[in-house]
Amino acid sequence: MLEALRNAIRLPELRNKLLLTLFILVVYQFAAHVPVVGVDRDALNALLSQRNSIIDVLNLLSGGAVTHFSVLANGVYPYITAQIIIQLLVPIWPALEAIQREPGGREKIQRYTYYLAIPMAMLQSIAQVNIFGALGGAPIIPGFGSDWLLTAAVMATMTAGTLFAIWLGELITEQGIGNGISIIIFSGIVAQAPGNITRLITNSPQPIVSVIIFIVLLLISLVAIILIQEGVRRVPVQYGKRVRGRRQYGGATTHIPLKVNAVGMIPLIFAQSIITLPAIIASIFPAGPVGDWFRETFGQNQGFGYWTMYFILVVGFTFVYTDVMISNQNLADNLQRQGGFIPGIRPGKRTDDYIRTVTRRITLVGALFLGIIAVMPGIVDLLNRVIFPAETAGTAGNAALVLTGSALIIVVGVVIDTMRQLEAQLMMRNYEGFMR
């Protein structure tokens, strides 16, 4: 691997791609430290000290920009949300489905996604400021909503920051190495990891035990994520033979690789968005028997009801989003147009039903895996209560929050994708690549 890395650095084109990618990531990190006008630093620091789950997700998708509530605080989350909405609309909106199938249709759909990301960024700017104020008990930006000039300035800068982040990501994709959006998120995860480890050691009454738990969880999670992310079910496909003159075409045998987890971390984002609502209600519920029960059951990162609902939502969204992706791909129609068929299955609707059945069976494994990854902080919190004394269990650092399941899925996916792209560049020049 080191020899392959040296070969990659020696190649002028590949070296320039790597340097450009690093330069763009440095630019992003500089921009992530430029705060939005009017931010109350004391209120923001008090809120960040609470380890709120929705803040962790937004911080993850913004590459760490939420920590400073910078102009990039929205990150690429509005773009991801717009992309999900468009993907869900394509199979149920005939006009979009027709556009996608025509030549150049995917480029049009991508352009619509960019357009939709602008209002989504404006809405998230308003929601993020208000939700942060509700969770922290004090406004993050005093005067937001009442001072129209300040409100317009905040919305404009945060929306511009989102578009700037999207542009940097697309620049990496086109002229650098890897998927730009994913690499930007990846850089934020890596940048936050040392600070999270420091907090884990500082907050834990037994730092050595917490570090051991973190290492064990990390190794098990990495192996499981690689197995699930790279696991595929190969559905055999046969192409019919055609004879033209004295030549014979077709007759080849190949397969359709159906992934065990075809949706990545998208269900985690979906579920996190839904589960945040009862958590926010729990944080603002008045004191009393009902309010105390609501906070204990659905309180952020602590209630049994919270983790149970989170698990169910992740599993459900995994099945729903996988079905949507399979519908968008039109595998049965594409096979029929190309003269291919699955042995023993009639082309057309029977093939579509067979592919859906196989996909749902293997998705069960991927859905349960994502559900377990999602509730891992709750499992570790329960483990802390068993290991550490009762008086210190509540203050013990949570090893699962150093690198969450969503973060690990992104890290593994980005590393594998980048290694494959480097390998392809090296193999084109007869160098031995990274992957065996």
- pLDDT averaged over the chain? 78
Q: Are 243 and 373 in a shared domain?
A: yes
Q: Are 85 and 223 in a shared domain?
A: no
Domain of residue 192 covers: 1-201+407-436
Q: Are 299 and 157 in a shared domain?
A: no
Q: Taking 50 as the threshold, does the pLDDT of residue 391 lie above it?
A: no
For 304-346, what is each residue's pLDDT tens digit?
777 788 888 888 888 888 888 887 777 888 787 777 788 888 8
Q: Taking 80 as the threshold, does the pLDDT of residue 294 lie above it?
A: no
Q: What is the mean pLDDT of residues 255-261?
A: 84
Q: Are 116 and 60 in a shared domain?
A: yes
Spatial distance between the Cα atoms of 351 and 356, rounded to a whole number of angstroms: 9
Q: Are 307 and 381 in a shared domain?
A: yes
| Residue 61 included in any domain | yes
| Residue 197 included in any domain | yes
pLDDT band of residue 274 (cuts 50, 70, 90) is confident
| Residue 338 included in any domain | yes
pLDDT band of residue 389 (cuts 50, 70, 90) is low
pLDDT band of residue 48 (cuts 50, 70, 90) is confident
Q: Are 303 and 235 in a shared domain?
A: yes
Residue 284's pLDDT is what?
A: 55
pLDDT band of residue 159 (cuts 50, 70, 90) is very high
Q: Are 113 and 217 in a shared domain?
A: no
Q: What is the mean pLDDT of residues 248-265?
A: 76
Residue 429's pLDDT is what?
A: 65
Number of domains in the chain: 2
Q: Are 102 and 44 in a shared domain?
A: yes
Least confident span in 126-140, 266-280, 325-339, 361-375: 266-280
Q: Are 273 and 355 in a shared domain?
A: yes
Spatial distance between the Cα atoms of 76 and 158, rounded to a whole number of angstroms: 11
Q: What is the mean pLDDT of residues 179-202?
A: 80
For 393-418, what is each residue's pLDDT tens digit?
555 566 777 777 777 887 887 888 77
Residues 416 and 230: beta-carbon distance below 8 Å: yes
| Residue 402 included in any domain | no
* Nearest C-alpha neighbor of 301 from the set 41, 45, 44, 57: 57
Q: Are 100 and 35 in a shared domain?
A: yes
Angle CA(144)–CA(149)–CA(155) in degrees, nearest 5?
Answer: 60
% of the chain with per-residue pLDDT over 70: 81
Q: Are 430 and 369 in a shared domain?
A: no
Residue 279's pLDDT is what?
A: 54
DSSP string, 175-195: HSSS-HHHHHHHHHHHHHHHH
